[in-house]
Structure 1
């Protein structure tokens, strides 16, 4: 999800847009350390009204079954128990955990990195 300065400035004004860009740039713009056979799931979200009805599960299953990647990776925070439960239900397994500084300010302590691999059919 690339973050660009101009659209943020257009939406929020020059100074606020630049501030938003500087904050978001480090989070979203670095290259991901994964090969071409790995899909990175950036964000899964539904409206409040759609929650608890299987929408996220259906979206995730569709992506995992239909796209050509052999492996999927995602990041979830330890405070997002609903998402963590969904990913575990779908078969994602934790492979790395990174402690986060400023936990009070950010509202979470750890970034949890999870992966799912397509079963090999022989």
Structure 2
């Protein structure tokens, strides 16, 4: 398993708008294609106005396939068009869990069913 660690740095004051759009338009669509959310966070100290989310994949090919499908979904494209103006920067890292750690899937409140 690999983990994608995505960090979005938002313009100051835009976090509530981002989360409102994500929960109303992005989350359900994203979970249809990315069934292993490992966490979704905001920063409280350090660099502020950041949203950090973690996603589990079997490997880089699994990630590429799932993200390609997501990017072709017109609902996702419309959502991304709305959130991009809220962002200053995006960063993505690939993490490999240590041999002694097994990541668990996050459970989102009000999450819809998703495709494996």
Provide TM-score, normalisation by structure 1: 0.25
> With CA pairs under 8 Å and 6+ residues apart, which has the higher RCO, 1 or 2?
2
Q: Which has the larger radius of gyration?
A: 1
